Amino acid sequence: MAGTGANTPWGGRFHEPPEEKVRRFTESVSFDRRLAEHDIRGSLAHARMLASSSLITAQECSDIQGGLAKIAADIRDGRFTWREDLEDVHMNIEAALTEITPAGAKLHTARSRNDQVATAMRLWLKDEIRAQQAAIRRLQGSLLRAASDQPGAVMPGYTHMQRAQPVSLAHHLLAYVEMLDRDHGRLGDAFARTNVCPLGCGAIAGSTLPVDREFTARDLGFVDARGRPRIAMNSMDAVSDRDFVAEFLASAALCAVHLSRLAEDLILWCSAEFGFARLADAHTTGSSLMPQKKNPDVPELVRGKCGRVTGNLVALLVTLKGLPMTYNRDLQEDKQRLFDTADTLRDSLDLMADVVAGAQFNGKAMRRAASDPSALATDIADDLVRRGVPFREAHRLVGTAVRIAQDSGRDIGGLEREEWLAISPALASAADLLRSGARRRLDARTSAGSPNPRLVRKEIARWRRLLRDEPPTAGHPKDTRDA
Ligand code: ARG
């Protein structure tokens, strides 16, 4: 006879149901209901497999499928009643199914919540990774458009936040396109390792029943580029592995770091001190006290949210550290970290794409800042090298010019030809070089990857082609479900 704990799925061996406080502490349905659609997908595949292995009849399979379809529709339309006492999304759906059809009681055959939740999360994350990658591409598109709007806009490049050498706005923005592309690639790598099916591994040690794991893997789209099923090969690893979540959180954290750096650049550029950029009104807010203020809150929050995305990674790693094999309830803590990072990163990518698209870049202010002659000191040294002066000596000679200029309250742009000549006859044309200006000095740069406008235009064209021609899931194992 069932004990008084019988209203739980494990009630048979208990005398009492869990205490109310315990129920609240252990429930996850308040957040894991987000997995509902993917949990149902997993259950549909599992039911089809049970039927094909004659563990349930065709009629039972069809009853289960009909019931799950109704539940999916109820959830979508907000008609489904979630019950906290049923603990998690999996048991809520199973209980509802069993109310619709007695066949529901057979769905959990040869399955545990341990392989079930791992399957649902992997399915969910595969969809999410594709969405994140699309959001990355959209931001890259915004950056590319801003770069091509002003391909010739020269600006100072900074090291140590000091003016270093002239670069261009386009070159600066393309640096972020590169970073984001590595993020896209890392997410693709994470996708490949997420794309492995744990279903059929049961609670820890597989099943004594004749389950067909390749059937469910194929049915759920856990397949490689050639359509071959990819199944986890160790049941103990399969139910306790959350590497795929950690890997996504790590890739996301690095992407958030890149967004934070972009945000910081925009924030600096919007200051009166720089004056290089203005954000659209729609992406800024005012001050409740100072009428003149226009604050770059969106980039500031993107920069700030990098902290929580990084925190989510650390939180999960600490949760996983020291867990004995195999499934432990600690693993339930993975979900909020995963969902929070996914939401935060996707919003940040989305808004940064809008912010960049709506920003106005002030080519004149950039040019003015880039006309600082001291940013061409290295060019003069390079010119000396071309005349046979060893670079160390050239560096010393130009450094002397900088000191002489500074001692008399000028910059090197103010030095007369005679003063250059007095330092070294090899510096005869230094003043001419400075007069030619930063824009012309960009043309003088020929090394691959430099901000030479000709090379930058080529890069813009290369990225345009790449983004335009890329198939939606390029370079990654094909997901047959999307095909
Ligand atoms: N809600 C659980 C989780 O998210 C599902 C797995 C529960 N398994 C168990 N044996 N208690 O991890």
Indicate whether 206 and 102 sit together in one domain.
no
Going by pLDDT thresholds of 50, 70 and 90, the confidence category of residue 325 is: very high
**Catalytic center residues:** 160, 287
- Reply yes or no on whether the pLDDT at 246 is more than 80: yes
pLDDT score, position 259: 98
Q: What is the CATH number of the domain that holds 440?
A: 1.10.40.30
pLDDT score, position 281: 93
Going by pLDDT thresholds of 50, 70 and 90, the confidence category of residue 282 is: very high
| Furthest C-alpha separation in the chain | 107
Q: According to the 3-state scheme, what is the secondary structure of the chain? A: CCCCCCCCCCHHHCCCCCCHHHHHHHCCHHHHHHHHHHHHHHHHHHHHHHHHCCCCCHHHHHHHHHHHHHHHHHHHCCCCCCCHHHCCHHHHHHHHHHHHCHHHHHCCCCCCHHHHHHHHHHHHHHHHHHHHHHHHHHHHHHHHHHHHHCCCCEEEEEECCEEEEEEEHHHHHHHHHHHHHHHHHHHHHHHHHHCCECCCCCCCCCCCCCCCHHHHHHHCCCECCCCCECECCCHHHHHHCCHHHHHHHHHHHHHHHHHHHHHHHHHHHHCCCCCCEECCHHHCECCCCCCCCCECHHHHHHHHHHHHHHHHHHHHHHHHCCCCCCCCHHHHHHHHHHHHHHHHHHHHHHHHHHHHHHCEECHHHHHHHHCCHHHHHHHHHHHHHHCCCCHHHHHHHHHHHHHHHHHCCCCHHHCCHHHHHHHCHHHCCHHHHHHHHHHHHHHCCCCCCCCCHHHHHHHHHHHHHHHHHCCCCCCCCCCHHHC
Give the pair of three-digit tokens for residue 207.
């099943």
- pLDDT tens, residue by residue, 89-135: 999 999 999 999 999 999 999 999 999 999 999 999 999 999 999 99
- Reply yes or no on whether the pLDDT at 283 is more than 50: yes
Q: Is residue 462 part of a domain?
A: no
**Mean confidence (pLDDT) of the chain:** 94
pLDDT score, position 157: 97
pLDDT score, position 77: 98
Q: Is residue 455 part of a domain?
A: no
Mean pLDDT, residues 152-156: 93
Angle between helices 453-469 and 169-194 (to 10 degrees): 30
Going by pLDDT thresholds of 50, 70 and 90, the confidence category of residue 290 is: confident
Domain boundary among the residues 109, 139, 165 is at 109
132 CB contacts (<8 Å, ≥6 apart)? 187, 252, 255, 342, 345, 346, 349
Contact of 398 with 379, CB cutoff 8 Å: no
Ligand 1 atom closest to the Cα of residue 335 is 4
**Mutation test of ligand 1: which of 83, 117, 242, 330 has the most ligand atoms closer than 8 Å to its C-beta?**
117
Domain boundary among the residues 86, 109, 132 is at 109
Indicate whether 331 and 402 sit together in one domain.
no
Indicate whether 234 and 340 sit together in one domain.
yes
Q: What is the CATH number of the domain that holds 284?
A: 1.20.200.10
Q: What is the CATH number of the domain that holds 50?
A: 1.10.275.10
pLDDT score, position 17: 82
pLDDT score, position 454: 95
Closest-CA residue, ligand 1 atom 11, reads 329
Mean pLDDT, residues 299-327: 98
**Contact 10 CB / ligand 1 (< 6 Å):** no
Number of structural domains found in the chain = 3
**Mutation test of ligand 1: which of 83, 113, 239 has the most ligand atoms closer than 8 Å to its C-beta?**
113
Indicate whether 306 and 399 sit together in one domain.
no
Alpha carbons 253 and 123: distance in angstroms, whole number:
21
- Reply yes or no on whether the pLDDT at 295 is more than 70: yes
- Reply yes or no on whether the pLDDT at 481 is more than 50: no
Q: Is residue 461 part of a domain?
A: no
Mean pLDDT, residues 275-280: 97
C-alpha distances in Å from residue 371, one per residue of 171, 172, 180, 444, 450:
17, 17, 30, 16, 19
Mean pLDDT, residues 140-145: 98
Closest-CA residue, ligand 1 atom 7, reads 113
pLDDT score, position 390: 96
**Contact 284 CB / ligand 1 (< 6 Å):** no
- pLDDT tens, residue by residue, 432-460: 999 999 999 999 999 999 999 999 999 99
* Structure-model confidence comparison of residues 480 and 364, the more confident one: 364
Alpha carbons 377 and 398: distance in angstroms, whole number:
7
Going by pLDDT thresholds of 50, 70 and 90, the confidence category of residue 4 is: low
Domain holding 379, by residue range, is 373-444
The CA dihedral of 282, 288, 291, 294, to the nearest 10 degrees, is -30
pLDDT score, position 152: 82
- Reply yes or no on whether the pLDDT at 264 is more than 90: yes
**Contact 332 CB / ligand 1 (< 6 Å):** yes
Give the pair of three-digit tokens for residue 212.
């067909």
Indicate whether 355 and 252 sit together in one domain.
yes
- pLDDT tens, residue by residue, 222-238: 999 999 999 999 999 99
pLDDT score, position 384: 96
Mean pLDDT, residues 326-334: 98
Alpha carbons 173 and 223: distance in angstroms, whole number:
37
User: Exposed, middle or buried: residue 478 (CB in 10 Å: 0-12, 13-18, 19+)?
Assistant: middle
Distance 198 CA to ligand 1 centre (A): 14
pLDDT score, position 3: 52
- Amino acid making up residue 340: D
**Contact 108 CB / ligand 1 (< 6 Å):** no
Indicate whether 262 and 378 sit together in one domain.
no
Q: Is residue 43 part of a domain?
A: yes
Indicate whether 236 and 338 sit together in one domain.
yes
- Reply yes or no on whether the pLDDT at 244 is more than 70: yes
Domain boundary among the residues 109, 129, 162 is at 109
Mean pLDDT, residues 374-385: 94
* Structure-model confidence comparison of residues 479 and 205, the more confident one: 205
The number of residues making up the chain comes to 483
Alpha carbons 387 and 150: distance in angstroms, whole number:
35
Indicate whether 324 and 396 sit together in one domain.
no
Q: Is residue 449 part of a domain?
A: no
- Reply yes or no on whether the pLDDT at 480 is more than 50: no
Q: Is residue 159 part of a domain?
A: yes
221 sits in the region (left: phi over 0; alpha: psi -120 to 50; else beta) called left
Indicate whether 133 and 94 sit together in one domain.
no
206 sits in the region (left: phi over 0; alpha: psi -120 to 50; else beta) called left
Indicate whether 13 and 146 sit together in one domain.
no
Ligand 1 atom closest to the Cα of residue 89 is 1
Closest-CA residue, ligand 1 atom 2, reads 332
Q: Is residue 9 part of a domain?
A: yes
Alpha carbons 42 and 172: distance in angstroms, whole number:
45
Mean pLDDT, residues 388-401: 97
Alpha carbons 52 and 54: distance in angstroms, whole number:
5
The CA dihedral of 368, 373, 378, 379, to the nearest 10 degrees, is 90
**Contact 88 CB / ligand 1 (< 6 Å):** yes
Indicate whether 407 and 333 sit together in one domain.
no
Alpha carbons 138 and 279: distance in angstroms, whole number:
18
Q: Is residue 423 part of a domain?
A: yes
Indicate whether 137 and 74 sit together in one domain.
no
